[in-house]
Structure 1
């Protein structure tokens, strides 16, 4: 920054609005460690709420790698500050009164947690670690000092207790509740009570399987017009399938994550047909989808079933058949993001009709080891594709001869081939001429190839990982 312009004016003459616009380009750490130490005015401006809406403060253990708000390590993220020691936390606690997001990745002493919450009254997202020693008075103090909480991530053993659940129900702005399993056998979350008392609750995340299906059904019925997001297991206590229950909220449910497929063989067909009746879904995530009869998966994606679906993630569906992907291509015309990672049974035939997905922007085929010489030719017919992921492909030459068709993806901005082998099969030399929108390459290469990639990809912002 230039202090003056030679005519007696300097940055301090600028109005607050312009300085705030400049400050918006600074990282979390710079807001704390630099800007607040310049002068009283800058400290006041550095506390402006507009600068903090996307910031996350993480308290982590000494041995943990800090996860950030955008998925990268905290050291690479401008929106995160990640600290390990209690001394660091105590120093920072009073310097971020407009903080919105606090993530506790370890337990800490009660006085430290109290100080954070006392100095951060505007928290809207709070994650408490399962190892955090918690009593009634501490949780009550937290919620009294941070009454604006909209999203709470908390251990299941707390919400199996009526008095703790009553405290949660006092959060009048609570919209999203994520319950993680901290203690097996602690008892089910008191879903009926939450359904009756948390009027604004519209997102629920339950990773445990021992909730009575009747309680889940009561909750869904109570929220049938407002429930927008749910994360649940395919079956609840007694191996009873939860999908038919979710149909009660079919008009409002937009995001669904289903975990650990364990539906009985005789119920699979009805389950996938019921899933296809959630017509308003925009996002669907099904991890490790491995039914006894994989061909039945197609029942959920028949034309007319999920026409509004924009994001579909089916990771580690190792037996996913080609027919299912063809059906998805026909029945989900609104898809923007399709992830089929490690669907090892897929062949090129699965992509034969993927060109129907006119709006698809992100396609992840990482670990799909069954793909062959015509796969990329099918992918190249996607007119809006911006990001293509082909990680963990042992030998990219297996995608020849159609691998050259990557050059036909005129809108391609990012190619991610991390941890894939024989990457020189990709026609990098022509990228700068044919792919005018290309900006980002994720590639693992040998050290001696570094000069090659830096010289060839003149128009790209290259993100690289060494092979070692």
Structure 2
């Protein structure tokens, strides 16, 4: 069942661990007025049996006063004083971020919320039906010129596409756009990137799973947005099909982005060493995530510490040429930035053995919080135990399809990593998962059903 729309307060509050959210249920969305419009006559609240002036102020005055308060106080204190204050605190003019998920809220109510949210800077539409998305984006073009972040994820069917006129009006109307995310929502990429000339200040562009994505579109985006610091691209391609980007085009693209690129998530299918060297020439990179990098050689990997001095997050999937000696050499180098990694994912590096993994644990054990070893067939439970013992701050571990998880592994995890929050398994003994769930009640265990499928994890705890 689709989850209801979620409305949140301003940006610094949405990312807080103590955030409050307002849920708009189907019943309220269909049969009731929005909370800021009902009860036009002020509610006379009493404090200690006596009327107080602040409680009986008109709602528009309260909204103006609340706009000077920080978001934490609005949601954590002011909303809970009385019903009158709660209705004022939920006024859309105080919202800077809106998030709608699923089909529970009608398009007319989404447009009404957007119309009243004059201070809106961030909008997320997740799994919203296509017609509602088009109406919402058109409303944004009319009413929300201050928008800075737009996310439209998995909102259209494969045979649907956002109209070109909507894309053009969105970029032209919202001149302060800093990030655009159309993951899984089909658009005509050529049309969008050609309009980015009106958004030279754009910092983040995410165009994952786009069937119409072409190499020249990425080049045009790089030329139009000279300050682009985050690029996420994973084209929709058929298995065994041609590579989405040729070496020459990749070299031009990453040389153009070299002065500003700080985060890159890219499908390196078909790219050879010249293109990979162009990627590593972006010396400002702090986050590098490459999938299908089968042409990445050990010598090029050993040059990572010298080429990317500020790297903090690294993912190299299917780098089948890397050996334990290559990994150990890069991490054992004195002063290597890899020693400061907080995120490391070497999924599919089947030549990685326990010796290399132990060098990684010894070098970066003080900072690593996320380690992915999915399909690392040469790693054994002894190497993973050494990793758990050295990584004091480890929170996420993925050992799916590396080895079978047994009861002794569950006891080792409990003994060596009591702070672990998430564990991803492939083959496992049911008794081992049950025992681990009893030993660490706060641990979330997930199962990757198949090593050849991209299906979501199946959480059972």
Report the TM-score when normalising by structure 1. Answer: 0.65
1:112-146 per-residue CA deviation (whole Å, 9 max, x = no partner) reads 43124423333222234565544543222112332
Question: Aligned to 1:210, what secondary structure does the other structure show?
Answer: coil
**How large is the RMSD of aligned CA atoms in angstroms?**
4.2
SS of alignment partner, residue 314 of structure 2: strand
Kindly indicate whether the alpha-carbon contact (under 8 Å) linking 1:253 and 1:281 is maintained by their aligned counterparts in 2: yes
The Cα shift of 1:282 comes to 0.6
1:79-158 equivalence runs, <5 A: 83=104, 85-99=106-120, 100-103=122-125, 105=127, 106-108=129-131, 110-128=134-152, 133-154=161-182, 158=188
Distance 1:353 1:95, change over 3 A: same
SS at match of 1:190: helix
Question: 2:232 touches 2:264 (CA, 8 Å); kept in 1?
Answer: yes
Tell me the residue number matched to 2:225: 198
Quickly say closer, same or farther: Cα 1:380–1:390, change in 2 above 3 A.
farther
CA deviation vs aligned residue, 1:241-287 (integer Å, no higher than 9, x gap)? 6432122112x100011112432xxx632343344543321111234
| Aligned pairs for 1:34-113 within 5 A | 41-42=88-89, 44=91, 46-49=92-95, 52-53=96-97, 55-58=98-101, 60=102, 83=104, 85-99=106-120, 100-103=122-125, 105=127, 106-108=129-131, 110-113=134-137
Once structures 1 and 2 are overlaid, which stretch shifts more, 13-22 or 386-395?
13-22
* Inter-partner Cα distance in structure 1 for 2:200 and 2:211: 27
Contact 2:411 2:436 in 1 (8 A): no
1:207 correspondence with 2:234: yes
Q: Kindly tell me: are residues 192 and 233 of structure 1, through their superposed partners in 2, closer, same or farther at Cα, counting changes over 3 Å?
A: same
User: Following TM superposition, by how much is the alpha carbon of 1:352 offset from its aligned partner in structure 2, in angstroms?
Assistant: 5.2
**CA distance, structure 2, for counterparts of residue 227 and residue 200 of structure 1:** 8
- How many residues end up aligned between the 2 structures? 374
Which residue of 2 is the match for residue 280 of structure 1?
Answer: 310
Cα offsets for 1:396-418 (capped at 9, x unmatched): 666xxxxxxxxxxxxxxxxxxxx
- Check whether the contact 1:365–1:390 (CA below 8 A) recurs between aligned residues: yes
Alpha-carbon separation, structure 1, partners of 2:353 and 2:84? 57
Partner Cα separation in structure 2 for residue 36 and residue 111 of structure 1: 32
Report the alpha carbon displacement of residue 177 of structure 1 after superposing the two structures with TM: 0.8
Distance in 2 (alpha carbons) for counterparts of 1:425 and 1:249: 43
- Matching of residues 309-324 of structure 1 within 5 Å: 309-315=341-347, 320-324=352-356
Please state whether the residue corresponding to 1:126 is helix, strand or coil.
Answer: strand
Runs of 5+ consecutive residues of structure 1 not aligned to the other structure: 63-82, 399-419, 432-438, 445-463
Q: Distance in 2 between matches of 1:307 and 1:274?
A: 14
The SS at the match of 2:290 is strand
Classify the secondary structure of the residue corresponding to 1:121: coil
Q: How does 1:267-416 map to 2 (within 5 A)?
A: 268-277=297-306, 278-287=308-317, 289=318, 291=320, 295=324, 298=327, 301-304=330-333, 305=336, 306-315=338-347, 320-333=352-365, 334-341=367-374, 343=376, 345-351=378-384, 353-354=386-387, 357=390, 359-367=392-400, 368-370=402-404, 373=408, 377=412, 380-381=415-416, 385=419, 387=421, 389=423, 391=425, 394-395=428-429
Q: 1:345 to 1:396 in 2, by over 3 A?
A: farther
Structure 2 runs not aligned, ≥5 long: 1-42, 236-242, 447-457
Deviates more, 1:223-232 or 1:118-127: 118-127
Q: TM-score by structure 2 length?
A: 0.66
Q: In the alignment, is residue 440 of structure 1 matched against residue 461 of structure 2?
A: no
Over residues 59-92 of structure 1, what are the superposed CA-to-partner deviations in whole Å (9 max), with x where a residue is unaligned? x4x5xxxxxxxxxxxxxxxxxxxx4643443444
Structure with the larger RCO, 1 or 2 (CA within 8 Å, 6+ apart): 2
CA distance in 2, matches of 1:356, 1:205: 34
- Distance verdict in 2 for CA 1:19–1:182, change over 3 Å: closer
Structure-1 separation of matches of 2:327 and 2:460: 40
Shift of 1:191: 3.6
